[in-house]
A = this chain, B = another copy of it.
Amino acid sequence: MKSFRQVSSLLSRSSNNKRKMSQSAAQANLVLDNMNPCIKKMEYAVRGPLVIRATAIEKEIEAGVQKPFPNVIKANIGDAHAMGNKPITFIRQVLALITHPPLLETNEFPEDAKDRARAILKGCRGASVGSYSDSPGIEIIRRHVADYIAERDGFPAEWTNIMLCAGASEGIRACLKLMTNPGEGKRPGVMIPIPQYPLYSASLAEYNMDQVGYYLDEDRNWALDPAELERSISEAREKCDVRAIVIINPGNPTGQVLTRENIVDIIKFAYKEKLFIFADEVYQHNVYAEGSQFHSFKKVMNELGAPYNQMEMASFMTCSKGYMGECGIRGGYAEVINMDEGVMAMLQKSISAKLCPTVIGQACMDAVVNPPRPGEASYESWDAEVQGVLASLKRRAQLVADTLNSIPGFKCNTVQGAMYAFPQIMLPEKAIAAAKEAGQAPDVFYAFNLLEATGICIIPGSGFGQRPGTYHFRTTILPQEDVTKEMLGRLKDFHLEFMNKYS
């Protein structure tokens, strides 16, 4: 009670004393040999060694080290604000108002933002965002999410099926965890696309579940081939008990938007094979290509009618992507439908020990699903900001794919949606041999060379999965338009030189 107010510096804050504390204990009891083997196995490339090196280079540049490039460009992660994309004013106004309610009494904020803030505070115990919410979230926000889904799909959504969570990842992990089977019987398996977003491979490794990959068809703009689903599951059934299928639509890292027909095929396949559907739909606002349209799994299942509208499915959404890009706020939701009532009760119980997702993250989700409506004070400026962001992303999606396709030895599908391009690189034999000599996968070798030569940080395809013998990388389309051009210029120069060297 006293110590936290002691302001006098008992010791210097210099780094003199630091080494001692950061060394490992001479005789640690918890060591690599006796720790959880699943944690050792998991990999999360989006924040892996390449990114660690990129951050180190940033620090070197800060410290004055000379490099053949002026700055690092981090195209490794879908982090819009980090790349200079601006927050949507209305969202931040609502969040500031609920955080510091005396602002409600000022004239600095529009009435619609104040209305939203008052409704959220009314849903908070003690009218404070500092109180715990119910574990699945604040009722009024869950109701707004259900309304949003109902409007989106034209089919009803039940607010009690909505579980707010700290980003979509948390919801995905909570649902996956229901299907593990520690140490008993056949190993559980989950079908995931290859290439996939490594949250899935990392979480499956952590939960000691089998990863059952199905390849997306690169030649058909990463479409999903029902025959490939059949191949994948029939091979897997021998080894594990396949419980669920993950679909990422729009695709990460692949940027495709599934057609309605493709979704119908997947639903029918999942029905036949008795699979729980994980619909990762976090990029539902990010659709750019002419003719592409987002269809939610929920909507298509309902359009198909019985028995498909009775299937178990969880759909995931976030505040981190879309036009808002509020990654650091950690807001998201899962809509879980047709889950067995007993299992649903267990899901609710399992999240209760984590108390509740961040209330401000929940409020951010509210501002996304309950935006200004025509006629409200903020509508026009909000709409202009949103359309501005989406139009710019659309231009960048096109620019990235077109530029990559203009480079000899690159093949890039249309970025129909999401925030990434996943081009294939045709690496010459000599480069593959050089990679082998360096003890690296060829795409990792390429990515490290690119980083050291140009400061561009992208993620090699092996972090997401790819057909053997093919090489890719994922780049975001998030750098601002001038930076995107600068990045593609550096990439092209590097690539031509690299090909020259290894041809």
Query: Is A194 among interface residues, defined by CB-CB distance under 8 A?
Result: no
Tell me how many residues of A have a C-beta within 8 Å of chain B: 147
Cβ of A428 within 8 Å of any chain B Cβ, yes or no, is no
Known interface pairs A36-B179, A330-B166. Does A4 touch B148 (Cβ–Cβ under 8 Å)? yes
Are A21 and B337 in touch, CB under 8 angstroms? yes
Q: How far is the CA of A358 from the CA of B320 in the complex (A)?
A: 12
Q: A83-B126, A161-B21, A358-B358 are in contact. Are A47 and B166 (CB under 8 A)?
A: no
- A328 contacts which of B42, B96, B358, B383 (Cβ < 8 Å)? B358
Partner of A100 from the list B27, B95, B178, B342 (CB cut-off 8 Å) is B95
* B-facing residues in A273-291 (Cβ within 8 Å): 274-276, 284-287
Of all chain B residues, the one with the shortest Cβ separation from A283 is: B1
* A128 CB-CB contact with B under 8 Å: yes
Does chain B have a CB within 8 A of A133?
yes
A30 interface residue per 8 A CB criterion: yes
A95 to chain B, nearest CB (A): 5
Nearest chain B CB to A23 CB, angstrom units: 8
* Per-residue contact bits, chain A 174-214, to B (CB 8 Å; 1 contact, 0 not): 00011111111000000000000011001100101000000
Binding site for B on A (CB under 8 A): 1-11, 13, 17-18, 20-32, 34-40, 42-44, 47, 77, 79-85, 87, 92-93, 95-96, 99-100, 103, 106, 108, 124-126, 128-133, 135, 147-148, 150-158, 160-161, 166-167, 169-170, 173, 177-184, 198-199, 202-203, 206, 208, 243, 274-276, 284-287, 293-294, 310-312, 324-330, 337-344, 346-347, 349-350, 352-361, 368-369, 371, 373-374, 383, 390
- 6 A-B residue pairs with Cβ-Cβ distance under 8 Å, sorted by A, are A31-B340, A32-B340, A44-B352, A82-B125, A82-B132, A183-B208
